[in-house]
Amino acid sequence: MIFQSLEWAHLFWILPLFLIFIVFHDRRRERLMSSFSGGRGILRRLNLRRLARALCFFSLSAMILALMQPAWNPTPTKVERRGRDIVFLLDVSRSMLAEDIAPNRLERAKIAIKDVIDRFDSHRVGLVVFAGGTAVKCPLTFDHNFFRLALDDAHPESISRGGSNIGDAIRRASKEVFLGDDNRRGRDLILISDGADQESFPVEAAKQARERGIRIISLGLGDDKVGHPIPVERNGQRSFLEYNGERVLSQLVPTTLKDVAKASKGGHYLHVATGHINLDEVYDRLIEQEEAQVLETKEVLQYKSQFQFFLILALIGVFVEGVIHER
C-alpha cells in the first residue's frame, strides 16, 4: 500500500492532543457523576461514553487516512511521453559579442533561452554551438538543468576556430544530435545568429535537414542598418577587434537566415534585429500547436485509489457514535 497525499499525515498530531483532552475531561466528569449517583446505571453510562469517545478517535483516524489517498493493487501500465525534439543552434562567433543588443547579442540570446526553457518540459532539448567549427554541448535530453549548465558554458572560446559556418553547424546537428530514423516527425532546429557565414552552403544544408524531417526556425540578431564594433579584451584592457589596422564592424545579415528557413519545410524566419527576443511567441505559435511524437515509453505501476474504504469506516464510526450519544 502507498499513500498518494502524504502532506496530510501531519494531521495525525491532532490525535494525541484529542486523546489527552478527552482523558482529562472524562475523568473530571466521572468524578462529578460518581459523587452524585452510583450503582450499575452510572457504570453503564460511563462505559457507553468511553465507547463513544473511542469511536470518535477511530473516525478521525480513518478520515485522515482517507485524505492521504491510500492506494494498493498495483497494475503495470505503459505510459507514453509525447513531445518534440528541439535543438538550439547558437552562434558563438565573436561577432555575437557586438553590443547593439544589451548586454550583447550572445548573452541576450542565452537569457531568452533560459527564460523560455521551462515551457519545454514535455520536449527533449539539445544545444549545439558554432563559429568556425561546431560543438555539441548538450545532446537531446529531458534534463533541463543539464541543458542550462551547457548553455552557461557557451561562449566564443567554446570553439577553437573563429569565423561563422552556419551550413556545417546545420549538417552536424542534423546527423549527430537528432535521433532515430529520417521519417520521424516533430523535429525543430532553432537557429540563433547574426547571419554571417563563410560560404559553408547553409541553404544546401537546410535542404538536407528537410529530408530528415527537420524544420528550421531562424532568428536574426543585430542591427541590420549599421555595423557595430566587436569588443575584445587584451591584457585586461578592453578594445575592439581590428583587421589590417581597421576596426571590424558587424551587422545582421538576414538574407542567409531567411533562405535557410525558406529551404526548410514549414520553416520560419523571425527578424529580431535589435528588438526583443520573444521565444515565448516562438513556442506558442510555432511549437506548441505542432504535432508531437512519442519520445519515451516506460512501464510504471499504477495503484488503485482506495480512499473510499477509509471514508466509509469514518462515516460508520460517526453514525454509531451518534446513536450511542442519543442513548
Cβ partners under 8 Å of residue 64, min gap 6: 8, 9, 11, 12, 14, 15
CA of residue 97 relative to chain centroid, distance: 29
Least reliable range by pLDDT among 30-34, 110-114, 250-254, 282-286: 30-34
With cell 581590428, the residue in question is 242
269 and 202 housed in the same domain = yes
Q: Are 114 and 128 a contacting pair, CB within 8 Å?
A: no
- The answer to whether residue 186 is domain-embedded is yes
68 and 106 housed in the same domain = no
- The answer to whether residue 258 is domain-embedded is yes
52 and 98 housed in the same domain = no
CA dihedral 14→18→21→23, nearest 10 degrees, is -140
CATH number of the domain where residue 141 is located:
3.40.50.410
Judging by beta carbons within 10 Å of its beta carbon (0-12, 13-18, 19+), is residue 296 exposed, middle or buried? exposed
Q: Are 210 and 239 a contacting pair, CB within 8 Å?
A: no
Query: pLDDT (tens digit, 9 = 90+) per residue, 57-89?
Result: 888 899 999 998 888 877 777 766 788 999 999
Look at residues 212, 180, 181, 186 and name the one whose alpha carbon lies nearest to residue 82: 186
What's the domain count of the chain?
A: 2
147 and 48 housed in the same domain = no
243 and 101 housed in the same domain = yes
Phi then psi dihedrals of residue 298, to 5 deg: -140, 160
274 and 306 housed in the same domain = no
Query: pLDDT (tens digit, 9 = 90+) per residue, 167-222?
Result: 999 999 999 998 765 556 789 999 999 999 988 999 999 999 999 989 999 999 99
100 and 226 housed in the same domain = yes
213 and 135 housed in the same domain = yes
The span from the CA of 254 to the CA of 219, in Å, is 9
The span from the CA of 171 to the CA of 2, in Å, is 49
Query: pLDDT (tens digit, 9 = 90+) per residue, 18-46?
Result: 778 777 776 766 666 565 555 555 666 66
Phi then psi dihedrals of residue 4, to 5 deg: -90, -10
Look at residues 189, 258, 187 and name the one whose alpha carbon lies nearest to residue 217: 189
The span from the CA of 136 to the CA of 98, in Å, is 24
